[in-house]
Amino acid sequence: MRILVLLTLFLTGAMMSAQFKSVPISTLEGDESEQGILIDVRTEEEYNQGHLCDALNVDFKAEDFEAKIQELDKSTAVYLYCKTGVRSKDAATLLQELGFENIINLEGGYTAYIEESGKPCSGT
């Protein structure tokens, strides 16, 4: 019984430490994302209509999303955003399952960023 309790505590702690963080996109500062990788998980069409500067476009709905993400260093901070925060949250969950260590979901997405007077980069 004692082993079962210890195992449960260990697994609970391991799951808690692997959780990703979610922060409002309005709190993102340039120097934070420079310490990691900023990823726009929207479609290429959405990305080309405007995006955050220095963001890589890796379409969460694309068949090769997982393969492209697996090319990244799992110990580097990964900042994820989409249009409103739904796809980026789903992407964060997947990255967590793939073993990424420092995942930050940017809540509110590109829409909230623009509404907060964020300055987009346009084009590719």
Distances (CA, A) of 52 to 9, 25, 30: 40, 11, 10
Identify which of 18, 90, 33, 36 has the alpha carbon closest to the alpha carbon of residue 10. 18
Residue type, 96: Q
Longest CA span, the chain: 60
Look at residue 34 and give its three-state secondary structure: coil
Tell me the CA end-to-end span of the chain in Å, nearest whole number.
58
* Extended strands (E) in 25-118: 36-40, 56-57, 77-81, 103-107
The residues carrying an active-site annotation are 82
